[in-house]
Structure 1
Amino acid sequence: MPHQKFQSTTIKPRYAKGALSTFGANSVYPRIPWVAAWWSLTFPGFGHVYLGRYLPGFILIIWELVVNTQANLNMGIALSMLGKFEEAKAVLNEEWILLYMGAYIFSIWDSYRSSVEIGKSHILSEVEDAPVGPSIVSAFDIIIVDKKKPWLAAIWSTLSPGLGQLYSGHTITGTFILAWWIFVTYKANTIGSWFYSSIGNFPIATAMVDWQWFLFLPSMYAFAIYQAYAAVNENNILYDIEQLRYLRVRDENLAQQEPNTLENDTLQIIATFEHSPFVEMAIHDIESIGVPPKNIVALPLENLEAETNIIDSLHRVDGRSVLDGAMVSGTIFMLLGTIYGFVWYWGPVIWGLLGLVGGFFLGLIIEIAFHKKRIKLFASRKSEVFMQITCNSSMKEHLIKVLKERKANGYLVIPQRITPDT
């Protein structure tokens, strides 16, 4: 959330906070460098997609699929972890392995470096209070920065990777992940294996899976869930930032006008709102019933302290979530469950899913243990926009009706304690 107040309505910022296009939304949002490096470690390109650098991310993902497959690297890793070292040596293609290493290391290093640089750019964009367009309409799509539910994006990606990204407004990313998931699951014979696992025929389920392609899936699946969740959180913050700037610009413009001369028969009403389109709709409605714009003060409340939250919500997304560590652990154990599932009774599909769930909760417990003094389960719901309306007493009922219709959290009619001189 921005810490600098808006300085000028004519400012031309050099650093952007975010942008919208036909292909979706993107933002310069500070990410944790080690998290970006970790996702690149699990699958080259993931760290760049996590940062919003989609083009280099897609290039590295395609490179990983091609070179890893030619090198039989996944097969070699799986056989090594099962203790079959001679078989692992036999299946590996050494020439492709040598080609693989340079780009793999670059992916990890560049995602870490990019995260650091994006963090710097974010700070500078806050200093300049850079504007963000709230919507864009084209012949192909309507893109709106609006408030969505992060957990719903995670659920959609759990059902099929890519759907959560489409829900979050990242059209190109969602399309790419969805197509890439379909392709890899087809090459790995995953659907058939899932079917036979679900009816308890585990030997056939294990035998029909292509190890080389199947081992791409754990990282892909966990990342799609995590990235969809994070993308919605970041878009929600982008919406808050855009509305913060709008309210400050509006107040600055109104402050330059001559103040109204108030009549004796006036009252003041104070209301609070969450950041949402209802704030601007309420301002418009109040103006339409005859309250001068200068008599409507609407400004954001400043956050005193960011909190560490397990689950960020639609209503509060400026705290830090501990789901990073949980998803890292979930990815590791899903990969291990998949590999050892090839020799265990329930097969790679069931053990992979059990590894994801078990690893997620193990990582969550570790995070909670490290942050137990500063952690909350859910991000708290707080009022974020303060609105003060000064008007004639006869408008009181109309104003209260508008505030209720536009989802104000609450309102207060200021008591008139001073009677005017007669």
Structure 2
Amino acid sequence: MPHHKFQSASIKPRYSKGHISVLGINSVYPRPPWVAAWWSIAFPGFGHMFLGKYLHGFVLIIWELVVNNKSNLNMGIALSFQGRFEEAKAQLNQNWLLLYVAVFAYSIWDSYRCAVENNKSHTLSEIEDAPVAPSDVSFFDVVILDKKHPWAGLVWSALSPGLGQLYSGSTVVGTFILAWWIFVCYKAMAVRAWLYSFLGDFESMISLVDWQWFLFLPSMYVFALYQAFASVNENNILFDIEQIRYLRMRAENLGQLNAMDNNLVKILATFEHSPYVEMAIHDMEKLGIPSERIIALPLENLEPQTHVIDSIHRVDGRSILDGAMVGGTVFMVLGTIYGFIWHWGPVIWGLIGLFIGFLIGLAIELAVNKKKLKFTSSRKSEVVIQLTCPETMKDQLIAVLKKRRAGGFVIMPHTH
């Protein structure tokens, strides 16, 4: 079949756009350096995970859990914010604390630097226009680059951090986050604290919770939400980029007919970027339509607005939720700290802080962003297919378009 001419896996790029394997899906996608640096401040290792540098991230996260606990840093921070400075000094282990400073600074600096370099690499990969193999089949798993809903990833991570990452296709990352979340919740006694909070038994909850471990949870929880949402968005973008490259290469290699006789008809159809585009082309070829008579090209995106909410139908990669999640993290941490001395306790005040901080961060992003904004992205057709076929095959091709979920079609009139 003609598809064999465009086998993505046969080309090894100098600058790769992404990679798909049994371990998960990763891509070199441009990300704001300040966001990477912020996540490293919130929790060393998060900035690197945000950039897709998962091995660096895992090392720094484990380092944070060990050294922070040995130095009692979380306890010192909480007591300091409550104005109990002498108690904070007594809690801190200075030998371990001195080990903390250099790696913490390195984590912030290196995540910012890596974000800048990733952005350069993405630009070079776009210039090279190298392909990405859109699936990987092994003994252990079948990994397919497909379109998913970003908000589904966020919701699954809201129920249990790690599930959104598994939904996005990041097997190793999802497993790590899920196991890490369960371990920290166990050490912090967080599940029982959650139960006591919603039963109104605040005194039992506060006496039960381990402050040192509990203060890891706000940053972990918000990052799991954000990273799941961003990961699904980036995978959707990678799908679009790869399908656009494939369709353009296909059109260049096959060429076009210069003339059309009166026994042929032209049909124009529109599709969203999805596997159905390539499935429809394959179905038409099986019916006997020559490949040169099936022209499939992507539309250029002319909509300049930044969207507050991305969707499966439109992803621009510039999330206004960046600032909202930053605000949510800051205020959730503060709500948790002061919740240890306020009546409702750290769980409820942490959730209130998350909600308030999210709204404040979103408001700041909307105020700072100078471009015209739309609240949500709109559905659009992204690929146009032109078919040239005998009059007798018209109904069969229309049936294929309906089966493969074309957005619409029109039969072009004959012109002289």
Q: TM-score range by the shorter chain?
A: over 0.9
Instruction: Note the 1:211-226 alignment, pairs <5 A.
Output: 211-226=211-226
Single out whichever of 288-297 and 303-312 deviates more from structure 2. Answer: 303-312
Indicate yes or no: 2:355 matched with 1:393: no
| Identity in percent | 66
User: 2:77 is matched with which residue?
Assistant: 77
CA distance, structure 1, for counterparts of residue 125 and residue 366 of structure 2: 32
8 Å CA contact 2:11, 2:131 repeated in 1: no
User: 1:295 is matched with which residue?
Assistant: 293
CA distance, structure 2, for counterparts of residue 250 and residue 274 of structure 1: 18
8 Å CA contact 1:24, 1:143 repeated in 2: yes
CA distance, structure 1, for counterparts of residue 23 and residue 290 of structure 2: 39
Q: Report deviation, 1:368.
A: 1.9
8 Å CA contact 1:306, 1:320 repeated in 2: no
User: 1:230 is matched with which residue?
Assistant: 230
Instruction: Note the 1:375-390 alignment, pairs <5 A.
Output: 375-390=373-388
User: 1:24 is matched with which residue?
Assistant: 24
User: 1:358 is matched with which residue?
Assistant: 356
CA distance, structure 2, for counterparts of residue 115 and residue 293 of structure 1: 42
Q: Report deviation, 1:324.
A: 0.1
User: 1:329 is matched with which residue?
Assistant: 327
8 Å CA contact 2:296, 2:383 repeated in 1: yes
Q: Report deviation, 1:10.
A: 9.1
Indicate yes or no: 2:372 matched with 1:374: yes
Instruction: Note the 1:102-141 alignment, pairs <5 A.
Output: 102-141=102-141
1:11-32 Cα distance to aligned partner (Å, 9 max, x none): 7531000011110010010100
User: 2:3 is matched with which residue?
Assistant: none
Q: Report deviation, 1:305.
A: 4.7
Secondary structure at 1:136's aligned position in 2?
strand
CA distance, structure 1, for counterparts of residue 360 and residue 9 of structure 2: 49
User: 1:410 is matched with which residue?
Assistant: 408
8 Å CA contact 1:332, 1:359 repeated in 2: yes
CA distance, structure 2, for counterparts of residue 23 and residue 40 of structure 1: 24
CA distance, structure 2, for counterparts of residue 323 and residue 171 of structure 1: 24
Single out whichever of 227-236 and 281-290 deviates more from structure 2. Answer: 281-290
Secondary structure at 1:407's aligned position in 2?
coil
User: 1:158 is matched with which residue?
Assistant: 158
CA distance, structure 2, for counterparts of residue 9 and residue 58 of structure 1: 29
Change (3 A) 1:321 1:301: same
Q: Report deviation, 1:43.
A: 0.2
1:335-377 Cα distance to aligned partner (Å, 9 max, x none): 0110010011110011111111121122112222233751111
Change (3 A) 1:128 1:373: closer
Secondary structure at 2:239's aligned position in 1?
helix
User: 2:43 is matched with which residue?
Assistant: 43
Counterpart of 2:148, as a letter, is K
8 Å CA contact 1:307, 1:319 repeated in 2: no
Q: Can you give the 5+ residue segments of structure 2 that lack an aligned partner in the other structure? A: 1-5
Q: Can you give the 5+ residue segments of structure 1 that lack an aligned partner in the other structure? A: 1-5
8 Å CA contact 2:218, 2:333 repeated in 1: yes
Single out whichever of 356-365 and 62-71 deviates more from structure 2. Answer: 356-365
- What is the RMSD of the two structures over their aligned residues, measured on CA atoms? 1.7
CA distance, structure 1, for counterparts of residue 13 and residue 341 of structure 2: 58
Single out whichever of 130-139 and 376-385 deviates more from structure 2. Answer: 376-385
CA distance, structure 1, for counterparts of residue 78 and residue 160 of structure 2: 25
Counterpart of 1:130, as a letter, is A
1:192-217 Cα distance to aligned partner (Å, 9 max, x none): 11111111101111111000000000
Q: How many residues align?
A: 410
CA distance, structure 2, for counterparts of residue 15 and residue 318 of structure 1: 22
CA distance, structure 2, for counterparts of residue 90 and residue 360 of structure 1: 34
Indicate yes or no: 2:215 matched with 1:195: no
Q: Report deviation, 1:304.
A: 2.8
CA distance, structure 2, for counterparts of residue 151 and residue 160 of structure 1: 14
Q: Report deviation, 1:9.
A: 12
CA distance, structure 2, for counterparts of residue 116 and residue 417 of structure 1: 53
User: 2:308 is matched with which residue?
Assistant: 310
Counterpart of 2:274, as a letter, is S
Single out whichever of 406-415 and 147-156 deviates more from structure 2. Answer: 406-415
Q: Report deviation, 1:284.
A: 1.1
8 Å CA contact 1:21, 1:143 repeated in 2: yes
CA distance, structure 1, for counterparts of residue 17 and residue 130 of structure 2: 6
User: 2:87 is matched with which residue?
Assistant: 87
Single out whichever of 204-213 and 409-418 deviates more from structure 2. Answer: 409-418
Counterpart of 1:94, as a letter, is Q
Secondary structure at 1:320's aligned position in 2?
coil
TM-score scaled by length of structure 2: 0.95
Structure 1 stretches of 4+ moved >6 Å: 8-11
Secondary structure at 1:321's aligned position in 2?
coil
CA distance, structure 2, for counterparts of residue 15 and residue 178 of structure 1: 32
CA distance, structure 2, for counterparts of residue 377 and residue 302 of structure 1: 22
CA distance, structure 2, for counterparts of residue 12 and residue 178 of structure 1: 34
Counterpart of 1:382, as a letter, is K
1:352-405 Cα distance to aligned partner (Å, 9 max, x none): 111111211221122222337511111222221111111111222222121111
TM-score scaled by length of structure 1: 0.94
CA distance, structure 1, for counterparts of residue 339 and residue 396 of structure 2: 65
Indicate yes or no: 2:342 matched with 1:344: yes
Counterpart of 1:294, as a letter, is E
Single out whichever of 316-325 and 209-218 deviates more from structure 2. Answer: 316-325
CA distance, structure 1, for counterparts of residue 116 and residue 313 of structure 2: 28
1:29-58 Cα distance to aligned partner (Å, 9 max, x none): 010000000000000000000000000100
Change (3 A) 1:319 1:188: closer
User: 2:182 is matched with which residue?
Assistant: 182
User: 1:3 is matched with which residue?
Assistant: none
Change (3 A) 1:55 1:12: closer
Indicate yes or no: 2:254 matched with 1:254: yes
8 Å CA contact 1:153, 1:163 repeated in 2: yes
